[in-house]
Amino acid sequence: MMNEVQQSRLDLRSDTLTLPSAGMKDAMAAAVLGDDVYEEDPTVKQLEDKAAGMFGMEAALFCPTGTMTNQLAIKAHTRPGDEVICDHLAHIYRYEGGGIAVNALCSVRPLQGINGRISAGDVRDAINNPDDIHQPPSRLVALENTVNRGGGGYYDMAVIEEIGALCRSHQMAFHLDGARLFNALVETGETPEQYGRAFDSISICLSKGLGCPVGSLLIGKKELIGKARRQRKLMGGGWRQAGILAAAGIYALDHNIPLLKEDHRRAREIERIVKQYAPVAEVLPVATNIVMVRPAGGLPAAAFVARMREQGIYCVAFGNDLVRFVTHLDFTDQQLAQFEDRLKTGFMQG
């Protein structure tokens, strides 16, 4: 039999763990459907038009995952043999299965930014001489906002605009992995339109903090989205009555964005609690819904995670010395209180 702790798991491994709310399920059940491969699903079209309109961009493409939307963008912006510039912590470089090499046949120039964020100076120094035949052409700069492995930190818009101007002056494309972009927007007060003006393409994820069961969107110009649609089909990503999933996305964009602020508040409380009751040497600055901690005393991340799990708290190791907690829509204030109680009686006594 499971004990009480096992029965009341506090799962903070990822915001992908969110489940559709009752209102979202109702919207899904009521969705008008068609065949999206034929571009005849009205709810998919509604979602794509809505997302493109939010960012002031021409078109959007609904896809199963953020990895797919990122990879489609990279493929559309580049030619085989080109080089992609990004931070060394970037999701497109670390967590997409080597897709840049496999799908776009491009190399990567990983830069050493600050907690996953690079500057215009970093990019300027990394651009290859286009007349040097020994070097791949620098074709694309990709940012991640917020930065997953960087503890959920976000860019200043002035930095983004400076990098964008640099890209334009070198005839390079500019892509945003905005898997958690709305987490940044609710903190900064910036608008999606500002991002639409800054980037050539943007990927946003609906199945993280926004609470959808499946789905991401690639947003950009019609020509780029047309290329991406063809590549999506080549990758096996064409889907049929996808409107049942698109309806969840529409509901999330209409209702769930303001709720992200609550996730951020709870993340800051987790930062306070782990500093007070857990053996941590460092907590990366908490800006949004991600809390990255470095265990104290040389305790391996895997061992820290195991001790947390003994208290019914689920987190995830990032390498040997970092542990990640992520707040989300399904993590409540009541669970937050349980989190603190368990650390008091768990780590403090252990």
The ranges of the chain annotated as CATH 3.90.1150.10 are 4-18+259-345
Residue 175 CB contacts under 8 Å (≥ 6 apart), including other chains: 70, 73, 74, 77, 140, 141, 142, 143, 199, 200, 201, 202, 203
Architecture of domain 4-18+259-345: Alpha-Beta Complex (3.90)
List C-alpha distances in Å: 186 to 101, 262, 344: 34, 10, 32
The CATH class of 31-255 is alpha beta
Q: What is the pLDDT of residue 8?
A: 86
Tokens of 2: 């499971």
Q: What is the pLDDT of residue 210?
A: 98
Q: What is the pLDDT of residue 5?
A: 46
The ranges of the chain annotated as CATH 3.40.640.10 are 31-255
Span of 5-9, 68-72, 125-129, 239-243 with lowest mean pLDDT: 5-9
Sheet bearing 280-283, strands edge to edge: 280-283, 290-295, 322-326, 316-318
The amino acid occupying position 174 is F
How crowded is residue 222: how many other Cβ atoms within 10 Å of its Cβ?
11
b/e map of 40-49 (b: 16 or more CB within 10 Å)?
A: ebebbbbbbe
Confirm if 294 and 282 have CB atoms less than 8 A apart. Answer: yes
DSSP, collapsed to helix, strand or coil, labels residue 285 as coil
Please give the full DSSP string across 147-184, using - where no structure is assigned: BTTTTSB---HHHHHHHHHHHHHTT-EEEEEETTHHHH
- Quote the CA–CA distance of 253 and 223 in Å, as a whole number: 25
pLDDT in tens, 234-249: 999 999 999 999 999 9
Residue 55 CB contacts under 8 Å (≥ 6 apart), including other chains: 192, 193, 195, 196, 202, 219
Q: What sections of the chain are H helices per DSSP? A: 4-7, 22-29, 42-55, 66-77, 91-94, 99, 120-126, 157-169, 181-188, 192-198, 222-234, 243-255, 260-277, 301-310, 333-345
pLDDT in tens, 51-94: 999 999 999 999 999 999 999 999 999 999 999 999 999 999 99
b/e map of 262-278 (b: 16 or more CB within 10 Å)?
A: bbbebbebbbebbeebb
Q: What is the pLDDT of residue 2?
A: 37
Tokens of 87: 């931070």
Confirm if 216 and 205 have CB atoms less than 8 A apart. Answer: yes
Band the pLDDT of 3: cuts 50, 70, 90. very low
pLDDT in tens, 193-246: 999 999 999 999 999 999 999 999 999 999 999 999 999 999 999 999 999 999
Judged against a pLDDT cut of 80, whether residue 7 lies above it is answered with no
Q: What is the pLDDT of residue 1?
A: 32
